[in-house]
Structure 1
Amino acid sequence: MKYIAILLTVFNRKKETLSCLANLYKQILPDKTCIKIYLTDDGCTDGTPEAIHKIYPDVHIIKGDGTLYWNRGMYKAWETASKERQYDYYIWLNDDTFTYPEMISTLLSASQKKEDKAIIVGPTTDAQHIQPTYGGRLNNGKIPIPNGILTSVTHFNGNIVLIPQSVYKVLGNLDYYFTHSKGDFDYGLRAKQQGINIFQAEKYLGECELHPTLDKWCNPSISFAKRWNMLHRPNGMPPKETFHFEYRHYGLATAIFHFTTIHLRCLFPNIWIKYKK
């Protein structure tokens, strides 16, 4: 029997979360495969955990207080799962990602081709199937278009990711230092540093719409006071976390350069937009 822990963290997206879970329960699983879902409720106030408990009572819900955000919420879910049993695989999943029925079987097949020693990333597309939205990332930051074969990547978004037990034994959990959005990139880059390969699956495994490309912290239509506040929020571009991430992976010079430029983008967004054009 193969045991898989599926990890999520959620906050006030009841409709999306319930749809995500419904798709999970429609998965076409290989024989002798068992899944258990661990979900961090990061202080939901919209009835999400109550609805989950009523419809899917076997989901293990971990309580948060609204300060965990994605990375620390996933950390808590993973920590809980790993203490309960030694799972063969862990799957990260975003609650706004709507998976196809063959998602798990495709991830498992890909992992087994790599002797369960690599991270496997599931790419997603938009609802119109026009472009990739999240998945593995190449050195240039782009998501490779799935082409029927496993594609080597350097890091990844955390929307659909399979981590075998052998990788978990080397890398452990996500880094709790990060609050929200840098934990997935950090995990992939740490894997590469340890000689662990990362592959993107050969086809799309779900749908997830792109988030707005112009963040509020550098949007010139928003007042400076609000931009400054959004810059320092966990789901903005928190300067200390950004510096820590870039110093770890790209060195001191790059960390200092981007620490400076993100403040300039917040202070003078119009000038920055014109410069980029």
Structure 2
Amino acid sequence: MKKVVVVILNYNGEKLFPIFLPSVIQYSNNDFTEIIIADNASTDNSVEFLKENYPTIRRIELSENYGFAEGYNQALEILKEENQFDYYILLNSDVEVTENWLTPIIKIFEKDTEKTISAIQPKIRMHAEKHLFEHAGAAGGMIDYLGYPFCRGRIFDTLEEDKGQYDDQTSIFWATGAAMAIRSEVYHDLGGLDKDFFAHMEEIDLCWRIHHTGKKIMYCPESTVFHLGGGTLNPMSERKAYLNFRNGLTLLLKNLPSKNLFFKVFFRMVLDGIAGVKFLLEGKPKFMLAILKAHFYMYSNLSSTLKKRKANQAKFGTLKLPKIVYPKSIVWQYFANKNKTFKELD
């Protein structure tokens, strides 16, 4: 079998290790898989805890907190120099895996002799309520024509119960960074995750670049993991809202086709403004300010973002919208048409 490495990026996750690491060790420790924990300069006792309780697990200790995106870039660059792993598994520190979770994923890669598949995501359900799909990936990530991400099994805050309705092995737009399997050469050829995203949507940006190459991303229902979510960053924080709105605009500017680029970005900003008013009416002014801050970031960093867009155009040629993109507004479908599940969409 090919060599696989499960890389867990950690930042102050000492309390998570006793809960989630045992399953990773139990179900991922075999002849063709290695487990590595990359520590993002934690300020708690993460490193000491690992040394004392899991001394045989390899650690990569980074010199500072690089964030999710650059933290993985730094760790995987070290592994690139070793040139021994064919597949990287990016796994959050708050994920519980199940027996044989890697086997069906690797089988998909191995059967794909022409390497048309670049990345794969398992089924992701909630750790607390294991019958429900989880926000970060569910049964595969999708995106609408305005760049709003959603999932099979999760649209905005509506989580579906897993009743086997998404047990089809199928192409998806994006694989979650909470549990993403990717060919090592693809990761490095595309330059890894965009460090300026810091966290949130950086995996969608990477997957969009995969689509620019004409390759596919797959969902593997035979593999199941359970995700806690918010293990490092509070899911209801203003910081997360800022990153999501900021990175959502950056995602569009980097990857959308030139046709209607201005219109789509402008319309997206209008919808952001409506969201800001909604936050204000709900008594959440800090969330409205997070949106304003995100827009000001876009203005002040427009030049550098457009340089990345030009780099994409130079590498991939004319940027085209992948056919798998949902051609309508998921916002309209969800809030106006009341379509709350993926199967209800047109």
TM-score by length of 1: 0.79
Unmatched segments (≥5 aa) in structure 2: 145-149, 154-161, 284-330, 337-346
Q: Does 1:138 align with 2:148?
A: no
Superposed CA deviations along residues 140-193 of structure 1, whole A, max 9, x for unmatched, are 522256644412101121111111235335424212222111211111111111
Unmatched segments (≥5 aa) in structure 1: 218-228
Q: Does 1:254 align with 2:254?
A: no
Structure 2 matches for 1:104-123, cutoff 5 A? 104-115=102-113, 116-118=115-117, 119-123=119-123
Checking the alignment, whether the CA contact within 8 Å between 1:53 and 1:59 is kept in structure 2 is: no
Selected match of 1:159 from 178, 196, 200: 178
Partner of 2:250: 244
Following TM superposition, by how much is the alpha carbon of 1:117 offset from its aligned partner in structure 2, in angstroms? 4.0
Give % identity: 17
Checking the alignment, whether the CA contact within 8 Å between 1:3 and 1:88 is kept in structure 2 is: yes
Structure 2 matches for 1:1-277, cutoff 5 A? 2-27=2-27, 32-37=31-36, 39-57=37-55, 58-66=57-65, 68-115=66-113, 116-118=115-117, 119-127=119-127, 128-133=129-134, 134-135=136-137, 136-139=140-143, 141-143=150-152, 147-168=166-187, 170-211=189-230, 215-217=236-238, 232=242, 236-237=243-244, 239=246, 241-250=247-256, 251-262=261-272, 265-266=275-276, 269-271=279-281
Checking the alignment, whether the CA contact within 8 Å between 2:121 and 2:180 is kept in structure 1 is: yes
Checking the alignment, whether the CA contact within 8 Å between 2:85 and 2:184 is kept in structure 1 is: yes
CA distance in 2, matches of 1:104, 1:201: 10
Following TM superposition, by how much is the alpha carbon of 1:51 offset from its aligned partner in structure 2, in angstroms? 0.8
Letter of the 2:237 partner, please give it: K
Instruction: Classify 1:53/1:264 alpha carbon distance in 2 versus 1 (closer, same or farther; 3 Å).
Output: farther
Letter of the 1:269 partner, please give it: F
Following TM superposition, by how much is the alpha carbon of 1:111 offset from its aligned partner in structure 2, in angstroms? 1.7
CA distance in 2, matches of 1:149, 1:21: 29
Instruction: Classify 1:64/1:246 alpha carbon distance in 2 versus 1 (closer, same or farther; 3 Å).
Output: farther
CA distance in 1, matches of 2:62, 2:248: 27
Partner of 1:222: none
Checking the alignment, whether the CA contact within 8 Å between 2:29 and 2:35 is kept in structure 1 is: no
Instruction: Classify 1:266/1:130 alpha carbon distance in 2 versus 1 (closer, same or farther; 3 Å).
Output: same
CA distance in 1, matches of 2:241, 2:133: 27
Over aligned residue pairs, what C-alpha RMSD do you find?
Answer: 3.1
Aligned residues: 258
TM-score by length of 2: 0.65
Letter of the 1:77 partner, please give it: A
Following TM superposition, by how much is the alpha carbon of 1:214 offset from its aligned partner in structure 2, in angstroms? 7.4
